[in-house]
Structure 1
Amino acid sequence: MTQNLSASEPGLVASPEWVDELLLSGPDNEVCLCSDEPVDRGTLRRLVSRRQSTLVAAGLRAGGTLALRLPPSMAYVANLLAGWRIGAQVILLDHRLTSFEVDAALNRLAPQVVVAAERTRGGALRAFADVDESVTPWPGRPATTPHAVIQLSSGSTGPSKVIGRTAGDLMAEIDRYTRIDGVPLRGERIIVLASMVHVLGLVGALLYGLHAGVRLRWPERVAGGGILDAVAAETTPATVLGVPFHIGLMTSVTDPPALPQLRRMTTGGELVPATTAEAFVDRYRVPLGNMWGMTEVGVIATDLFGSHRPALRPAPGLEVVEHDGELLIGRPESPYVGLSDPTRWADGWLHTRDAGRTDPDTGLVTVLGRLDSQISVGGLKVDLTEVEATVTALPEVAEAVVLYDDMITAYVRLVPPATAATVQSVLADRLAGYKLPRRMHVLDALPRTTTGKLVRDGSVLRRAAAREVTE
């Protein structure tokens, strides 16, 4: 996969031809996107061209900066591709952020044009919205880096980082997807549940799907029945792409219909407890694929057939090594914008801050959890990932996060009529005394990021627990 990546202006964003050649090419009548109505490539090209004219009229030029704050929609897809087609740097802001968070991001990133939802039709559970957008010139600045896209990290463990990826980075990741065994192929479908503002939905669904001729379909509603309806809507093979939260939606359907179209579900974002994976496979009789990735790199390793769980095979072209218990990724340049932190990237290696190990014989990688999950209690080593997995595996526990906060602390959502006392009693038979949570907060719902990950920032969890006490 070779394309012309010469910059539109010296040192700035890549030439826009890659959009037409890699993403928009194909027969006019080939359907590429489906929600309420199918959209073929000819229609998509026309929509992108119209948005391109509107953005140029608002002052966007090659080397300029465009911020998108849109829900999953044709408006999002068309404006994203139009911005890249102009040769601009596109900043992706999750539409679920608060106005305070958006204002802070805009002040921090200073785009020249902002596209936001002026009116959105449909309910809160709608997966692909009908949007009227507003296009507003903004007192920002041109791109100062060659990145085609700017994203904010999910913020599950702390403040978001600003991450940039070039058109070359995106193209290389698309190429990795084409060489991974088990990905959907031309003529098949992806049922898109993952957010397109973040890397799994952006590249793993939208960009790869447009490039490979895989039809993208969004369910009418992000609910168990809605997902199954999207699978059943056509006879072609379908892969469901989402995060572990979506596994729960699908397994909540007590008597699912036969779905010969369903080939697999693939999830990324966080580790899937073994009990959760077993429940899904038992219910649907298809593989639950696993994917590990980062905003900084995209897909890193996969096990799309569920045959190596919890181990994964590095994606083609990526080098993954273990150093002092941490997994490192070979990357020639830092992905961070405005940040030179040698603890995150140094000497060609990206520090994932994930604990893990590599098998020298098979090359398989096992992610063990966040590196900061390794603590010492009374001189004894405790892996909080192990403690959390044990808590989550209990039938009395719907979901849990375990942190070290002066002591081992569990934040849990329970299955009625369970109580903290009953959970502690059961855990006493399953964990050594020094591993047991000394404090347990029972919440009606655990905080999640906009991508559906459980939040692991102690300050956020403490505030959530305090609110429930006062209420």
Structure 2
Amino acid sequence: MDDLGRAAWERHMDDLRRAAWERHVEDDVAGVLAGLAEGTLGEAFQRTARLRPDAVAIQVDDDALTHAELDRHAAAVAGWLRGRLPAGARVVIAAPNGVALVTAYAGVVRAGCVAVLASPALTERELRHLVADAGAEAAFATGASHEALARIGPPLRVLVALDGTGFHDVLACGLARDPEPIPSSSPALLAYTSGTTGTPKGVPLSHANLLSSIRAALAAWRWTADDVLVHALPLTHQHGLGGVHAALLTGSRTRVLARFDARRLVETVAEEGASVLFAVPAMYERLAELPGVTDLRRLRLAVCGSAPLSPELARRAAAVIGQVPLERYGTTESGLNVSNPLGGPRVPGTVGLPLPGVELRICDAAGRDVAEGEIVLRGPQVFTGYWNRPEATAEAFHPGGWFRTGDLGRIDPATGHLMINGRSKELVITGGLNVYPREVELVLEKHPGVAEAAVAGLPSPRWGEEVTAWVVTAGHSPAVTGDALIAFARTRLAPYKCPKRVFFVEALPRNAMGKIVRRDLPAPSAHDS
């Protein structure tokens, strides 16, 4: 990092430490930092239930639970589990969005067990891997997931249908007393990486990790008990689960749609008088396409995450919701780490400043500070290592506890905001030169004939790898050719960064949270350039 960039970064970090969060947060910085990792999730949820017993905590479609009702049901699940499993036992929860899923999760963490959230879209093969890798002894599930888990057997020995009489029996069992207290350093959630660049790895997150992450974000976003959040994200993903945590920590209300429908989401925001929206870029894309939408302008905060938000989409979304979506950044291993300020400038193409308690650097492979390189993090939000993967854990940290995110980025010297360039494993090395796919994608997406683009490297005997683009055309635009897009890129990028080939596709492969899965990009032979 040059002197100008370092000076700007230090200036912004000093401002952050001294005053930024005092401007945007009612609590002082020291107070926020002091309480980040305090207690356990179960204790925090119980405290909220005592303060706001009759307020609705969570509603999924038409099913709702107050904080007191959820607390009572979670206590029953916790007592039932601890009569069968020891503290620290892994419990799979595989179900679509629903209050039963939230109840099971709250009960699992209250029992001192470890929740393993699984998308209901996982195949039996994927569930077998999850159960075996986690060493899961129990599961709550519905539908096809329940049927698949029933065929798996050991180590799984307890299986309850969330949508059947078995779960009603669990809730009816009552709880004579809470399980023995557990330390905040105990694991609460065994998350799994998205696997967009390889095999998913287990990520144990402690109560302290999860509480630090969500409390820092809630403070930065001025979350109160009066807020109403609406989202249609899967609750088996940390982005959607974060909305549940927000309600159960602050006494606010979270309204979840069982599945995403753009028009229904807008209607729900209006019905609830919602103040906050969580969504991913693919959802903002659909919202921006709706004609005559005005209800979203009542939101005080619209958060975007889980995948990059292009400046063009940020502009179009702002025209509908009346504000640039607040982009933030996090990882499976470290929760939420960086956010654009609530009241400050939101710079499209950047994800903002570190949240309270987070230390952030840009490093090379040896851990030295550089202007452009890998994002590394340290703080109470960060996990301590992968599940049963000591070699992967050793590779994931620099000395001093700095977690290597695998994401590439740089600090905007003008604002001090973090900018994401992509994943280190996605870096294209062509002719010995590094090309960041995201930089090329952003250029291509400025062309009026391009709706979205994905860039990756294909093997080349001459270059080692050659920059290649897969493009979805904009439906309202005239036909565009690969040669035209390559020529367009050459007016905006150095020659070595420009695509050598362009393939047109109907859609880009994405995971459930909207991230492009580059390994699933169609083989070139299947498409004409």
TM-score (norm 1): 0.83
Task: Determine if contact 2:445/2:451 at 8 Å carries over to the other structure.
Answer: yes
* Identity of matched residues, %: 24
Structure-2 residue corresponding to 1:94: 119
Question: 1:103, 1:387 → 2: CA distance?
Answer: 38
Q: CA RMSD in A?
A: 3.1
Cα deviation digits, residues 41-94 of structure 1 (max 9, x gap): 12222332343455456x234332211111111111000111111111111112
Q: CA deviation at 1:372?
A: 4.2
Higher mean displacement: 246-255 or 355-364: 355-364
Question: 2:468, 2:306 → 1: CA distance?
Answer: 22
Structure-2 residue corresponding to 1:29: 54
Which residue type is aligned with residue 207 of structure 1?
A: H
Question: 2:439, 2:41 → 1: CA distance?
Answer: 47
Structure-2 residue corresponding to 1:412: 471
Q: How does 1:3-82 map to 2 (within 5 A)?
A: 17-21=43-47, 24-34=49-59, 35-56=61-82, 59-82=84-107
Alpha carbons of 1:435 and 1:259: their partners in 2 closer, same or farther (altered >3 Å)?
closer
2:335 paired with 1:298: yes
Task: Determine if contact 1:200/1:298 at 8 Å carries over to the other structure.
Answer: no
In structure 2, which of residues 375, 378, 382 is the aligned counterpart of residue 330 of structure 1?
378
Which residue type is aligned with residue 231 of structure 1?
A: V
In structure 1, which of residues 187, 200, 214 is the aligned counterpart of residue 252 of structure 2?
214
Structure-1 residue corresponding to 2:215: 175
In structure 2, which of residues 433, 437, 441 is the aligned counterpart of residue 388 of structure 1?
441
Q: CA deviation at 1:192?
A: 1.9
Q: CA deviation at 1:399?
A: 2.0
Q: Secondary structure at the match of 1:97?
A: coil
2:285 paired with 1:224: no
Cα deviation digits, residues 10-61 of structure 1 (max 9, x gap): xxxx79545423x54433211112231442112222332343455456x234
Q: How does 1:55-454 map to 2 (within 5 A)?
A: 55-56=81-82, 59-118=84-143, 132=163, 146-180=186-220, 182-203=221-242, 205-219=243-257, 221-235=259-273, 237-305=274-342, 307-311=346-350, 312-324=352-364, 325-331=373-379, 334-340=384-390, 341=392, 342-347=394-399, 348-358=401-411, 364-406=417-459, 407-416=466-475, 418-421=479-482, 423-424=485-486, 426-454=488-516
Question: 1:165, 1:299 → 2: CA distance?
Answer: 13
Cα deviation digits, residues 238-271 of structure 1 (max 9, x gap): 2111211111121120221344532232111122
Count, aligned residues: 437
Task: Determine if contact 2:52/2:68 at 8 Å carries over to the other structure.
Answer: yes
Structure-2 residue corresponding to 1:139: none
Alpha carbons of 1:133 and 1:414: their partners in 2 closer, same or farther (altered >3 Å)?
farther
Question: 1:269, 1:295 → 2: CA distance?
Answer: 10
Cα deviation digits, residues 419-463 of structure 1 (max 9, x gap): 54354454454444432222223222211112221113x3x2246
Question: 1:362, 1:395 → 2: CA distance?
Answer: 29
Task: Determine if contact 2:197/2:425 at 8 Å carries over to the other structure.
Answer: no
Q: Secondary structure at the match of 1:148?
A: strand
Q: CA deviation at 1:178?
A: 3.1
Alpha carbons of 1:151 and 1:103: their partners in 2 closer, same or farther (altered >3 Å)?
same
The higher relative CO (CA closer than 8 Å, separation ≥ 6) is in 2
Which residue type is aligned with residue 107 of structure 2?
A: A
Alpha carbons of 1:107 and 1:255: their partners in 2 closer, same or farther (altered >3 Å)?
same
Task: Determine if contact 2:262/2:286 at 8 Å carries over to the other structure.
Answer: yes
Q: Secondary structure at the match of 2:470?
A: strand
Q: Secondary structure at the match of 2:283?
A: helix
Question: 1:303, 1:149 → 2: CA distance?
Answer: 27
Task: Determine if contact 1:118/1:134 at 8 Å carries over to the other structure.
Answer: no
Q: Secondary structure at the match of 1:309?
A: coil
> Greater helix share, 1 or 2?
2
Task: Determine if contact 1:290/1:304 at 8 Å carries over to the other structure.
Answer: no
TM-score (norm 2): 0.75
Q: Secondary structure at the match of 1:405?
A: strand
Alpha carbons of 1:389 and 1:220: their partners in 2 closer, same or farther (altered >3 Å)?
same
Q: Secondary structure at the match of 1:317?
A: coil
Question: 1:192, 1:84 → 2: CA distance?
Answer: 23
Task: Determine if contact 2:232/2:258 at 8 Å carries over to the other structure.
Answer: no
The answer for unaligned runs of 5 or more in structure 1 is 6-13, 121-129, 137-144
Q: Secondary structure at the match of 2:272?
A: coil
Alpha carbons of 1:413 and 1:115: their partners in 2 closer, same or farther (altered >3 Å)?
same
Cα deviation digits, residues 114-149 of structure 1 (max 9, x gap): 1111389xxxxxxxxx9615879xxxxxxxx94111
Q: CA deviation at 1:207?
A: 0.8
2:525 paired with 1:461: no
